[in-house]
Amino acid sequence: MIFQRQDLILFQGDSITDCGRNRLAPNDMGFGYAIMAAAWLSAMRPEHELRFLNRGIGGDRVCDLKRRWTTDCIELKPDWVSIMVGINEVWRRFDSNDPTATEVYERDYREILGQVREALPETRFILIEPFVLETSPDRAAWREDLDSKIAVVRRLANEFSAILIPLDGIFAGAAAKRKPAFWAEDGVHPSPAGHALIAQSWLNAVEAN
């Protein structure tokens, strides 16, 4: 078991992590993979008295995480930070002509991880790859931009000794068993089964480590 008694695990990211949480209730975990993973882990390891927070915000890119990082991460003093961010960097390129260069994504992502490492040197990371499922032809066109972002997450996981969850490949494998729209109707926002798959993958990763 990698977690210590009463560890605080912070989930961060965009709408996939946010998933309808009540932002006026600091302990609300939303309805997605974060609450699923937290509930299962709490049930499997009740003696650890683990604590969980969700600070995901829909629409966020890594530059948005960077702006709120002091209050929504550093000041919370988590023992673990689980981050899933990157799909909005791709989406905004195609729907708003507002791209995020891979170099900028990597610079900002490395900066927020570095801020944690400097302020909270014992804190560890769980990095989740962004993903897309090809539910329509335009989603397939996103692949060229997304793949470079995934490569960044993999490099940073290695650099910061993080647990990496290779979610893009996990969803690709799942889509071979049942059509992509079953897991995420728009290719991005998971269905309940999609969220359960993320939670299962997260739990498998932390238990394996």
Residues labelled as active-site residues: 15, 186, 189
Judge contact between 28 and 72, C-beta under 8 A.
no
Give the Cα separation of 154 and 170 in Å (integer). 15
Judge contact between 144 and 106, C-beta under 8 A.
no
Q: Which two tokens stand for residue 25?
A: 């209730």
Place of tokens 């470079």: 148
Give the Cα separation of 93 and 145 in Å (integer). 9
Indicate the residue type of 185.
E
Give the Cα separation of 80 and 64 in Å (integer). 20
DSSP per position, 145-169: HHHHHHHHHHHHHHHTTPEEE-HHH
